[in-house]
A and B are shown apart, each in its own frame.
Chain A
Amino acid sequence: MDSTTIRHLQESIALLPMGDLAPVGEFYRRLFELAPEVRPLFKRDMDLQAKKFSDTLAWVIAHLERPHELCQQLRTLGARHSGFGVKIDQYAPVGSALIWMFQQTLGDRFTLEMEEAWVEFYAFASLEMERGSRELAPSGAHR
């Protein structure tokens, strides 16, 4: 990732209302609308799930300039998701819902450059997660 992409990612995250989980709630609502088949994968309390997602997103953005740590964490996350039953094809609606969350929450402040940065970052992050599921997940978990 180049420095411009990192800057757009950091700036867009900084525009989200701090400590407010409503945007993440909207992200999940959109995800389940786009891909209802993933709803049964979420068995825990959705408020807890939203907090967990928000914390993970914040950690990832804080570590964009530490690629080694970032990749390791993404791979661990990918292996864990594979264990939960997440399939490769299900990464796509997550990316779409994530960008939709920024569009809905930030409106015109979410620029085309920011969207492009998130598309690029999500491609990178989701493929690292897939790699983690191949390398770290128990045999047979990666589908």
Chain B
Amino acid sequence: MAVVNQHLDQALSSPLFRNAERQSRFLRFVVDAALQSPKATIKEFDIAIAVYNRRADYDPRTDPIVRVEAARLRARLREYYEAMPPDRMRIDIPKGRYVPEFIPVEGELAHVASDLSILVPLFRSLSPDPGDQNFCDGLTEEVIHKLAQDRRLRVITQSVAAWLEHREGPKPHYLLEASVRRAGAEIRLTLHLMELSGGGSMLFSNVYQATMDDIFATQERLAERVHGDLSAALHIDNEGSERIQ
């Protein structure tokens, strides 16, 4: 319990939470409730009353403020952990519920979290058509989304990297660079994975070809293949992380 409270205090004193008073109260409320009664459920109504000063006749159907804030809080936590990688544990509020989980990142997991951080800048379009950059942007988003779902990886986007430059702490270990060429409906994605801590040496490279029929489907297929190849290149298996109950 002390570890969780210490971690919570640290998170709430960070710049991302310091000025977000209600979100901080929301997080503290659900963490306190989970610590006091680990098997209890936390209801939208309880949060509305305790954190958002709603009255007893509060109707979550017509005032979805708690659902809105829960989504914002999840996004804020993701951003916080991207900028400040946890060394012992992290708090997660799974989608669809308000009871937080306290997930350890000690030992091997902490090692993985610090070693498997990947900076993913926007993919570049090498085609003359300026509209192709939109496809590249979407593909970058899809790859980031796919990689971010893998809890063993810590994905750092371009905007967060700019922020990290001005902060103390670990820097990204790997850089994923990619470019896209298009000729008619044929797409060629060239990908380079570099080890930044190894002086920028090339760890993995591949060229992927695809036919652009449905844009989203093409992006999703390519992202799936990239994730699979990166997992193999980084020698990570497919087991999930443990959780504290």
A residues with a Cβ closer than 8 A to B are 1-3, 34, 65-69, 71, 87-89, 91-93, 95-96, 99-100, 103, 115, 119-120, 122-124, 126-127, 131, 134-135, 142-143
Q: Which 5 pairs of residues, A with B, have the shortest CB-CB distance?
A: A95-B68, A123-B71, A3-B216, A96-B65, A123-B72
CB-defined contacts of B21 to chain A, threshold 8 Å: 88-89
| Contact in complex: B64, A115 (CB < 8 Å) | yes
CB-defined contacts of B117 to chain A, threshold 8 Å: none
In whole Å, how far is A3's beta carbon from the nearest beta carbon of chain B? 4
CB-defined contacts of A91 to chain B, threshold 8 Å: 72
CB-defined contacts of A1 to chain B, threshold 8 Å: 141
Q: Please pick, from A92, A122, A142, the residue contacting B52 in the complex, using a CB distance under 8 A.
A: A92
B122 touches A (CB below 8 Å) = yes
Beyond A68-B133, A96-B63: 11 further Cβ-contacts under 8 Å? A1-B141, A67-B138, A89-B21, A91-B72, A92-B22, A96-B65, A119-B64, A122-B68, A131-B159, A135-B163, A143-B19
Q: Please pick, from B65, B133, B138, the residue contacting A92 in the complex, using a CB distance under 8 A.
A: B65
CB-defined contacts of A3 to chain B, threshold 8 Å: 216, 220
| Given A34-B63, A119-B64, also A66-B76 (CB < 8 A) | no
Residue of B nearest to A119 (CB): B71
Residue from A2, A123, A124 with most neighbouring chain B CB atoms (10 Å): A123
- In the assembly, what is the distance between CA of A87 and CA of B18, in Å? 12
CB-defined A-B contacts under 8 Å, sample of 25: A3-B216, A3-B220, A66-B134, A68-B122, A69-B137, A87-B19, A89-B22, A89-B23, A92-B22, A92-B72, A93-B65, A95-B69, A96-B64, A96-B65, A99-B64, A99-B68, A100-B64, A103-B61, A103-B62, A123-B72, A123-B74, A127-B76, A127-B79, A134-B15, A143-B19
| Contact in complex: B65, A124 (CB < 8 Å) | no
| Contact in complex: B65, A95 (CB < 8 Å) | yes
CB-defined contacts of B138 to chain A, threshold 8 Å: 65-67
| Contact in complex: B141, A119 (CB < 8 Å) | no
| Given A67-B138, A143-B19, also A92-B68 (CB < 8 A) | yes
In whole Å, how far is B75's beta carbon from the nearest beta carbon of chain A? 5
- In the assembly, what is the distance between CA of A70 and CA of B69, in Å? 22
